[in-house]
Amino acid sequence: MATTQLPTPAARGRSPFPLPSLLALATAVFVTALTETLPAGVLPGMGGALGVGESAAGQTVTVYALGTAATAIPLTAATAGWSRKRLLLGAMAGFAVANTVTAASTNYPLTIAARFLAGVAAGLAWALLAGYARRLVPAGQQGRAMAVAMAGVPVALSLGVPVGTFLGRVLAWWVPFLAMTALAVGVIGWIAAALPDQPGRADGDRTPVRRALALPGVRPVLAVTVLLVLAHTVLFTFVAPFLDRAGLGTATDSVLLVFGLASLVAIWFTGVHIHRRLRWLTAGGVLLIAAAAALLGLWPDGSPLVHLAALLWGLGWGGAPTLLQTAAGDAGGAQADAAQAALVTLWNVAMAGGGVAGGLVLRRFGTGALPWTVLLLLVPVLAVVLGARAHGFPARRT
């Protein structure tokens, strides 16, 4: 006798939202973001153990970004046919190895090599995470899925960095790195158990990055990425000396906490509205960051206004990774993975460049010039976003 099966939610046109899978991706994003910035909070102890100064120890952050920038595009092309799940598991295993070596090493070149390996793993992970999240849901839920997956970034900045710094100060500088190893191992198990696999491209369907760059919408998205990340990094890298010289050095933790919490709110708001308002969310985020920079430039020594600036900055910046990766995916279409690899590469180039540019501004003009540098960089960002209404940041998403 034939049995009658009830229609599934997908068959009825209502796909269930895969929250456990997306939270696994968000935790992978957290591992990626925190591993990059963790040395900043433990530089004195790390430098002492390696027998180098704090400036040399700080290059462990730079070499991570260089590892990502140098390898994201070629690795994405080389692994285009691989299973997405297997590739993500490999990237998380790379983080586990790199953080373990970093914690155990007392040799500076070995530590630099481990950090470069972590950067390579990050380039691989970032190039596929956004596309993975988008593939798990139907088109109408992609913005929300991206927002959940990208929530790992502000959580890492607002909670992960302070907790890691605390553990490094109270216990030992290497403890946070071992904790990251344990978290990476846990994420590997979570991904293996909860994340459905997604296939790579067939051998004959691999898209070189140069073809993605030829698409008219990809180029404005990448231009906005470079300038916006550069503007953000110029100030964010040196926010501690900026506040210190304004007489607010003791408020650094609270300012960063406000920034992180506001970023979480921005990610939620972005997830709700991105499907219909990507263009205006991007433009609004740029204007919020510009308002924050203006407040810091005009009233750098007023604690309430500085915290208000941090609030505006977080609201403007929090949705940026989701917005830019969604825009790149939309503009890339069938070549989205190649567009994402280019975005990851340029994002890290801009981060490294922002640190260098901010340092030059700091030495030449002082901390007071940092907010005005941000404003100067944001002018062309807003112009590109508003001008790319046909491709890149269209008035209506399809």
Distance CA 377, CA 73 (A): 26
Tell me what percent of the residues of the chain surpass a pLDDT of 90.
24
Dihedral sign, CA of 17, 21, 26, 32? negative
DSSP assignment of 205-229 equals G---HHHHHTSTTHHHHHHHHHHHH
CA angle centred on 142, ends 131 and 270, rounded to 5°: 110
Distance CA 363, CA 39 (A): 23
Distance CA 287, CA 101 (A): 42
pLDDT tens for 231-251 read 998 887 677 778 877 787 777
Distance CA 336, CA 74 (A): 15
Confidence of residue 8 (pLDDT cuts 50, 70, 90): very low
Name which residue leads in pLDDT, 182 or 200: 182
Confidence of residue 3 (pLDDT cuts 50, 70, 90): very low
Max distance between CA atoms of the chain, in angstroms, equals 84
- Say if CB 155 and CB 32 are below 8 A apart: no
Q: Is 303 exposed, middle or buried (0-12, 13-18, 19+ CB in 10 A)?
A: middle
Q: Within 13 Å, how many C-alpha atoms sit on residue 249's CB side?
A: 4
Secondary structure of residue 248 in the 3-state scheme? coil
Q: Which residue has tokens 């400036």?
A: 55
**Cβ atoms within 10 Å of 285's Cβ, excluding its own:** 23
Confidence of residue 339 (pLDDT cuts 50, 70, 90): confident
pLDDT at 55: 63
For residue 112, what are the CA distances in angstroms to 17, 183, 367? 41, 22, 30
Distance CA 326, CA 227 (A): 17
Q: Which amino acid, 358?
A: G
Alpha-helix runs per DSSP H in the chain: 19-37, 43-50, 54-78, 84-104, 108-135, 142-150, 152-155, 161-170, 175-194, 209-213, 218-236, 239-245, 252-298, 303-317, 320-332, 336-365, 370-387
- Among candidate residues 171, 174, 172, 132, the one with its CA nearest the CA of residue 150: 132
pTM of structure: 0.73
Distance CA 84, CA 76 (A): 11
pLDDT at 213: 75
pLDDT tens for 370-387 read 999 999 999 999 999 998
- Say if CB 14 and CB 97 are below 8 A apart: no
Confidence of residue 14 (pLDDT cuts 50, 70, 90): low
pLDDT at 60: 80
Per residue in 261-273, is it b (16+ CB within 10 Å) or e — as a string?
Answer: bbbbebbbbbbeb
Distance CA 102, CA 42 (A): 12
pLDDT tens for 266-296 read 888 887 888 788 899 999 999 999 999 999 9
pLDDT beyond 60 at 13: no
pLDDT tens for 25-72 read 889 988 988 888 787 667 678 888 888 876 677 678 778 888 887 877
Confidence of residue 397 (pLDDT cuts 50, 70, 90): low
155-160: average pLDDT: 73
